[in-house]
Each structure stands twice: as C-alpha cells, then as structure tokens.
Structure 1
Amino acid sequence: MVYADLHSHTLASDGMQPAAENVRLAVAAGLGAIAITDHDTVAGLKEAIAAGEQYGIQVVPGVEISTIAGGEDIHVLGYWIDYENELFLERLANLRSVRDKRNEMMLEKLNELGVPLTMEEVRASLQASKKVDETLGRPHIADAMLRKGHVSSIAEAFDRFLGKDGAAYVNPPRIEPATAIGWIRDAGGVPVLAHPGLYGQDQLIGELVESGLAGIEVYHADHTVEQEQHYLSIAKQYQLIVTAGSDFHGERGGVVFHSPIGSKKIEISVVQQLIEAKQKL
C-alpha cells in the first residue's frame, strides 16, 4: 500500500525547513505523495514541485487558509489550487496583512504583561529572512520568547501566552470559512476542513458542506482515536473526502511540531479523489 501525507509546512510559513527538505523527508518515510500546505501563502510550492520531480514523488500543491468562526480560528486546506492565479495571490496577500497586524497586537500585549519582545527580535531569531509572500506567525514569536529566556519551551509559550486561552492571545477580524472555501474553488482547488477536533464546532461542518466543502481531515496528529472515528462518521454522513496529515512544522526547542512527516497518512488513492473532485468544479 502506498500512502500520502496531506498536511505539512515549510519555511514559507511557520515550518522550520525548506520545501525541498519536506519532500526529501516524505521520500525517506516511504510515502508516495506529500502536500505542502503553508499558512496563507503558496511561496514554497514551486520549490517543492521541483524537488518532487527530482525525487520521483508526487507533490500536491496546497495552502492552509486562516479564518474565524464563532470567535475561534478555523483552518481550511485547499488542494490542487492554481497557485499562480493572480486573484488568489492577491487575496492571500490581504490575509497576510491581517496576520501581520495580529502579530503586532500580540507583541503589544506581551510587553504589557512584562514580557519584552520586539518584531525585530522575532525576525532576528528566524532561520532565514522572510520574503514578501511568506508568512510569520505565533510559532515564530514563541521561538523568540524561548531564545530570550521568557519561557522554557514552545509549549509553555502557547499555554501561558499565545494559545487561545493565553494571556496575550488576540484574534482580529478575518474572513469566514465559507469565504475561504469560495476562494479555493475560484482558484480551481478542493477545499478540506483542517483538524476539526481542535475546534469543537461540529455544527459548522454541515453549513460548510452547503458552501462547497469537499473533504475533512479525519486523521491528524492532535486527534484522538475517538475523534478520528467521530469525524469518519461525519465524513460518511456528508459524503466528504477523508484526508490525513501530520501537520509537520519541523523541530522547535527539541520537539517536533505537530508530528513527523508520514506519522499520519492516508492511502494515495485519496489524492486521485481530490483530483477527481477538482475536475468536477
């Protein structure tokens, strides 16, 4: 049986490695396909696709769009998008500007809480300089906090400050999940709800199906076995494509976040299901 890992991040967003390295790790894990799904950017896709041709592995071009519903972050994955679509690129750029505003707001709250940190210090802690079409987010802030000794681990940074229950957490207005679904479909892609077990908003799934949701990430590093079974039944109820992904971001503070490439995988036939869903658009 050949498998695919359909959720991974690179240096283009909050991953720790170049896109080509994700592809190499997928080959080393014995996978037949790997998706690159950076947050609100497609900047790593050309490098990944070139690496896929070099290593002889299928690379699924993707993206993970940040949205908000019920006051909570909801992420929508898009597969087989036209990553050179000008309207789509413009829309992603607008999302990155909101993300930048959020970063500044979080830094302001951290400073008010007696945790001094500047954007310059966050950027200085990065492995590589960020390009205009790449994203910077909470993991980068957490990494800078760790390097400055404000916290003892990335987990502590999120638990105490940056997570949704953290003292410095902010969530400025963003697009709704249904809007992201529309954007993905406009770009010729297939929209899939990422890690629904992290939200606890199951009622949202039916609403998003009506907006064009095509799949659901049933198997994810942060899902329990019970959650996997629960969302598998929901996928069957709505006839959604079932996907899986490690949500690999690389290693920070000696810990792999969320899990290694290939640790959560699905039969490669699902890649064909996504292609067929794209052809029906």
Structure 2
Amino acid sequence: MRGDLHIHSTASDGSLSPRQIVKFAKSRGVDTIAISDHNSIDGIAEASEAGKEYGVSVIPAVELSTRFNDESIHILGYFRNKKFNSTDFQQILKLVRTHRVHKLRKVLLGFRQHQTFNKYLSSSEGIHLLRAFGAAVVLAHPVRISDKNLLSLLSMPFDGIEAKYCRSNDYYTNFFINVAFKRFSFYTGGSDFHINRVCDHKHCLIGEPYLNSAELRKFVKSSGALILGSNIII
C-alpha cells in the first residue's frame, strides 16, 4: 500500500477537482490519500464518493494557516470523527480564510480561553482549535521552517510531524523521522500536490514521496484518523 497524506484540490488552490485527484492517485499506484486543502474541507465529500468508485481510501484533513514569531506555519489536521462537518467548524474556517481573526477569537472562546491579540491565528491556537474538532495535529513540512523557530515549534503539543516531504532530501527526512520517534506518536508524508505538472518546482506529483504499508498502519493506529471512501483495510 502507498499513501500520500498531503494533497490540495480545487477546494483551495489545487488544479484538480477532488474526483480527479482520486483518479490520478489510483493511476499512480497510491491507494490512500488525504485531501488537506488550505483552510477548507469542501473537497472531502466528493473525494470520499470517488474513493468508493476507484478503490482509494480517503482520510479527511485540512491544512490550517497560522503564525509563529512572524513566520507562516501550516498545521495539518487529520480528523478522527465527523466533527469537521459541523456548522461551527465551517464558520471558523470561513473566518480564517477571510482573515477575520478577531471575530474568530470570539467564536473560539466557546472552546478555549485565548489571551493572544495578534492579527494572525497563532500556531498554539491552531493546535487547540483542530483538537477541539477531533483532529490529530501535525506540523506541516518542518523542513521549510526557519532554524530560529523550529526548535520551539517542535516543543509544542503536536501529535506528529510531516517527516517525508516533497523537495526534502534523505538527510532531513531521516532527521525528522528520528525526531518523530523521540517526541511524537507518528510521522506523516506527502507530496503537497497542487498541479499536475512535473515542472512545479515547489511541490511534487501525488505519491512523491509516499508512506508504505507499515508507515500507514502506524499512522492510522496512532492518529485514530477516520478512513472514508474505499473499504480497503489499512
């Protein structure tokens, strides 16, 4: 089995529809994917239905935009239940997309008391927000994070990190896998797919890199992530 747990669709800034992504993943020998659009879950239902047709397991996810010390930090959430379909979560994501953070914090008071007044959603807020809606929380592409902030972020209460990442190399992949073994419950991997072109120098095609069967089983067992679409047992 092969899994790619970081894929973007037309529900955010990707070039393929969720259905096209499932079909493309199948053609590339990838049978487990996570649709993880930026601040959106709108592609999950379509991907799940397509997964049933093409025999692809779909893990519902989101990539949340946050800030830490003036650096853009992305946080991946892999959902353990269907709380992500709630009206509250949809409204929260809309506020994130439209940068209405002050209004967002008023909504968040119902889930957790926050004391930050920055105009951006903080990484700490992002972690607790995703947890409140039943997600296992992962630090996205740590290889792209500045050295000045990385150590502090790795000390935050993430469940896992994205150790296998597009455009990384063997040294950093192995480094972050070792970090995951020491500090977290699991690691993930993904292409950060956006567009079906080999000339995309920032991202990769689906399945580059991928999680193998053992890594997928570890992820599902440790994260408790929900599996939609195909009835394939991971």
1:23 and 2:6 correspond: no
Query: Which residue identity is paired with 2:151?
Result: Q
Task: Name 1:255's counterpart in structure 2.
Answer: 199
Which residue of structure 2 lines up, in the alignment, with residue 175 of structure 1? Answer: 121
Deviation at 1:91? 1.3
TM-score (normalised: structure 2):
0.80
SS of structure 2 residue aligned to 1:25:
helix
**The one of 181, 188, 196 aligned to 1:243:** 188
SS in 1 for 2:203: coil
Q: Which residue of 2 aligns with 1:59?
A: 58
Question: Following TM superposition, by how much is the alpha carbon of 1:274 offset from its aligned partner in structure 2, in angstroms?
Answer: 4.0
Instruction: State yes or no: 1:218 paired with 2:166.
Output: no
Partner of 2:105: none
Q: 1:50 to 1:78 in 2, by over 3 A?
A: same
Sequence identity (%): 30
Number of residue pairs the alignment of both structures matches:
203
Matched, 1:71 2:17: no
**Contact (CA 8 Å) 1:41, 1:63: kept in 2 or not?**
yes
**How far is the alpha carbon of 1:231 from its aligned partner?**
1.1
Unaligned 5+ residue runs, structure 2?
101-117, 226-234
Q: Deviations over 1:114-137 (max 9, x none)?
A: xxxxxxxxxxxxxxxxxxxxxxxx
Higher alpha-carbon Rg: 1
Unaligned runs of 5+ in 1: 100-171
Tell me which of the two structures has the higher relative contact order, counting C-alpha pairs closer than 8 angstroms and 6 or more residues apart: 2
- Give the Cα separation in 2 of the matches to 1:179 and 1:271: 28
What is the CA distance between 1:176 and its match in structure 2?
A: 1.2
Give the TM-score normalised by structure 1. 0.67
Cα deviations across residues 2-35 of structure 1 (Å, max 9, x unaligned)? 1100000011111001011111111111112011
Question: Residues 201-248 of structure 1: CA distance to partner in whole angstroms, max 9, x if unpaired?
Answer: 321234312xxx111000111222221122122112203311110000
- The one-letter code of the counterpart of 2:199 is V
After superposition, what is the alpha-carbon deviation per residue over 1:98-157, rounded to whole angstroms, capped at 9, x for unaligned?
Answer: 19xxxxxxxxxxxxxxxxxxxxxxxxxxxxxxxxxxxxxxxxxxxxxxxxxxxxxxxxxx
Q: Which residue identity lines up with residue 70 of structure 1 in the other structure?
A: N
CA distance in 2, matches of 1:203, 1:250: 31
Distance 1:22 1:77, change over 3 A: same
In structure 1, the partner of 2:179 is 234
CA distance in structure 1 between the partners assigned to 2:154 and 2:166 by the alignment: 23
